[in-house]
Amino acid sequence: MFGMLLRLSGVLVFFVLGLRSGGTPMNQGRRRLALKGNAISEAMDLARELDPRTTHHDRGAKLAQALLDLVFDPDSNGLDGMLRLFREHGLAREADGWIGNPDPPSLLPSQVEQVLGGAILQRLADRAGMPRSTAAAGAAFAIPKIVGAATRDGRIPARRPDWLTCPSVNRPERRFSSSALLLVCLTLLLAAELLMYGTCRARGPLFDAAAEVRKANARTLASLTRLPPSASLPEIAASLNLLVIDFAPGSDRIPEVTKPVLDRAALALCGRPGSKLEIGAHTAGDSEPASLSVERAEAIRNYLIGQGVRPAMLIAKGYGASRPVDTNQTDAGRFHNRRVEFQIIPSDNRPEDR
């Protein structure tokens, strides 16, 4: 609620004053915009009231300045070097999507930690006077916004644009310009993100299913790639059991992010004689019918057959919610229960194909 109020304050100021100014200084650049008493000041006062000991708006401004210095660090080839760093860590699509985008989507804190590393994040946190986890959440929100603002014409500047600075929140007044206002709004929005993140942290850690899927897919693909051409079926099944197939609720459609891993699995399975491989699907609680687990297992079987695996080698079986491995009272628990497992069926003990 409080974070939403701060966001709305920042957006309202940007919209109203943008209409009045047309993107140029008011009254031939002579009029000043006093922060005291206007909507920006009210938003900052709200931040003080929410946390009078360590105000989020001050820490947000410090973090925004630290991130500007980091993104345009000449020793790391500036913005171009920062974008290259994200691409090298598998986030090329995200980084390219920020360029020229006035409202790019935020990253996940875990992605920022992966790219920047713990040492850099700790330096950012020390400059802003906040925990490292909070700095990661702020950076995940602000870095795409900074890149989008700096590349508003679609080009990557060789150095930080002169207008792209972080105004101090403690000055009594500020000369109005659309660029300065953009950074003020960025600071306010960043403060809102930090408030919301702090509230969520107080309630307990959030479960990031998408991050878990990405990590599991990467582990599975790496394991399958390391298998020798002579790998046995149990070895292939062990690699496949690292995989997390996160079906959408009520759906048997295989997620697109899973298909490249299944493609690689099909290459390993082709031509393997002997035992059969059971594809066992499980659902999470009573919210999903047992028949859905059968449909999901069949979907995976049919996909692998489409990639060249012998139909007689694969058995699809649905277990419904009869074999939970975790509680169904939490997001993480339901995620773990809604799973697919692969096991070897010896040739002399083969259940009927389904």
Q: Do residues 208 and 111 touch, judged by C-beta distance below 8 A?
A: no
- State residue 308's pLDDT score: 92
Q: Which residues pair with 253 in a beta bridge?
A: none
Residue extent(s) of CATH 1.10.10.690 domains in the chain: 2-203
Describe the crossing of helices 132-150 and 109-116 by its angle, rounded to 10 degrees: 80
Position 280 scores a pLDDT of 95
| Cβ atoms of 146 and 103 closer than 8 Å | no
Return d(Cα 224, Cα 156) in angstroms, integer. Answer: 38
Q: What pLDDT, on a 0 to 100 scale, did the predictor assign at position 354? A: 43
The per-residue pLDDT for 173 is 42
Which superfamily, per CATH, for 2-203? YidB-like (1.10.10.690)
How many whole angstroms separate alpha carbon 65 and alpha carbon 166? 6
Residues of the chain with pLDDT > 70, as a percent, come to 69
Q: Are 272 and 233 in contact (CB under 8 A)?
A: yes
Q: Quote the CA–CA distance of 135 and 158 in Å, as a whole number.
A: 26
To the question of pTM greater than 0.85 for the whole model, the response is no
pLDDT digits (tens, 9 = 90+) for 80-118: 999 999 998 888 888 888 888 888 888 888 888 888 888
CA angle 268, 272, 273 (to 5 degrees): 170
Q: Which residues pair with 281 in a beta bridge?
A: 318, 340
Q: What is the DSSP letter of 7?
A: H
Q: What is the pLDDT of residue 34?
A: 31
Amino acid 192: pLDDT: 54
CA of residue 311 relative to chain centroid, distance = 37
Tell me what pLDDT residue 336 has.
87
Fold of 209-345: 60s Ribosomal Protein L30; Chain: A; (3.30.1330)
Could you tell me whether strands 276-281 and 314-318 are parallel, antiparallel, or unpaired per DSSP bridges?
parallel
Complete DSSP assignment for 292-329: HHHHHHHHHHHHHHHTT--GGGEEEEE-TTSS-SS-SS
Q: What is the pLDDT of residue 190?
A: 57
Stretches where the chain sits below pLDDT 70 are 1-58, 165-206, 347-354
Here the tokens at position 7 are 């966001």
Where do you find CATH 3.30.1330.60 in the chain?
209-345
Q: How far is CA 159 from CA 76, 93, 107, 201, 318, in A?
A: 11, 23, 23, 36, 57
Distances in whole angstroms, Cα of residue 332 to Cα of each of 22, 153, 164, 205: 49, 42, 41, 11
So what's the pLDDT on residue 316?
95
